[in-house]
Amino acid sequence: MNQYRSCSLCPRNCNIDRTHGQKGFCDQSDEMVISTVALHFGEEPPITGEGGSGTVFFSGCTMQCPFCQNWQISRGFSGSVVTVDELSKMMIELQRRGAENINFVTGTHFLPSIKMAVQAAKEDGLSIPLIWNCSGYETEDSVDELNTFIDIYLPDYKVSESSLAARFYGAGNYPLLAGKAILKMVESRSLEFTQNRKMKRGVFIRHLVLPGELGSSRKFFKWYSDNLKNKAMISVMVQYTPVHIPGNKIKIPQRFISQQEYDSLLDSMDEYGIDEGFFQDLETGSDWLPDFSNVMAFPSKQTKVIWSSVKKGYINKEDSLEHEGF
C-alpha cells in the first residue's frame, strides 16, 4: 500500500516508510493492530441504538493525549496484528450479533487497510452504517478518501486555542486543521436519522471539557454556533479524569470538573443558543475507566466484548465465525 511508504495520513506528516519497520508519531508500522472488538452501549443514544455500536479499537494514535482514558491502546501497549481479511470478518460478525453500526475508533493511521477491509465486508453483505470515530486531526485528503465509504463522522474538537494544542498534543495547528476537516465532513454528510432517531448519516462532534480551560470550550461553542448549528450534532463531555500514563512528562489537570464550571458551561451553551445535542451529567470518579489488559476491558453493562487481543480470539467462540474456521 503506497500510502504507508511515505506516510502522510495525518497532519503530522512523518513521511516515513512504515512498510520497512519505521514508525512515526502513531508508533505503528503498516501492520494493522487491534486491541478490542465489542458491542458498545456507552455511546450517545443515536449511535448506540438498541443493539449497541460495533466498536473496533485500533492500537496507536496520531494524538496520544496525555490524559487519554484509552492510553493502553493509544500508546500501543495493547493489541494484536490483524489482517485485512480478519477485520472484514470481524465487521460481519458484529453485524450478525446485532450491531447498529461499525465504529472505527482511532483508525486514521490504518486508513488504507480499513478501506480494503470495508470493501471486502460489503461484498460479503455488510450493510449497516460505518462510523469514523477520530480525534478530528485529519487531513483534507484523508477526509476525501473517507467520504468514499464512511456514513457517520464522530470527530473530537479537543481545544480551540493553539497554545493548549501545542502544550498537550505537540500540535499547535490542531484547532485550524481540525476545524477545516470537520467543516469538510459536514459539507459531505447532512444529518439523516431513522424514524426512531438512530443516526444513519451525518456528523456528531464531541468536545471534552478540560478543568480550568473553560475559555477554550466557550470558543468551541461560538465556532459551532457560527458554523455548524443545525448541520451537525454536538456532544459535550465532562468526564475528564486525571490518569497516570507511564512515561508521560506533560503536566495535566489533576482534578475533575467543578460544579461551578459545569454551571458556567450550561450558561455558555444558552448564550450561543445551543439547545440540541447531548451534555453529560456531572459525575466524579474513575471506576468507569477501561482496562485493556483484561479481556473484558469495560464494565459489563457498558460493553459486550466479542474479540480481544488479550485472548487473541473471539469470546464465546462457539457462537462466532471462529467456529466456522476463522
What is the span of the domain harbouring residue 153?
33-324
Q: What is the CATH number of the domain that holds 306?
A: 3.20.20.70
What are the tens digits of pLDDT across the range 153-187? 999 999 999 999 999 999 999 999 999 999 999 99
Structural domain contains residue 299: yes
Residue 73 has pLDDT above 80, yes or no: yes
Q: How many structural domains comprise the chain? A: 1
Structural domain contains residue 25: no
Structural domain contains residue 77: yes
Structural domain contains residue 14: no
Structural domain contains residue 290: yes
Structural domain contains residue 28: no
Residues recorded for the chain: 326
pTM passes above 0.85: yes
Structural domain contains residue 181: yes
Residue 322 has pLDDT above 50, yes or no: no
What are the tens digits of pLDDT across the range 212-254? 999 999 999 999 999 999 999 999 999 999 999 999 999 999 9
What are the tens digits of pLDDT across the range 253-283? 999 999 999 999 999 999 999 988 999 999 8
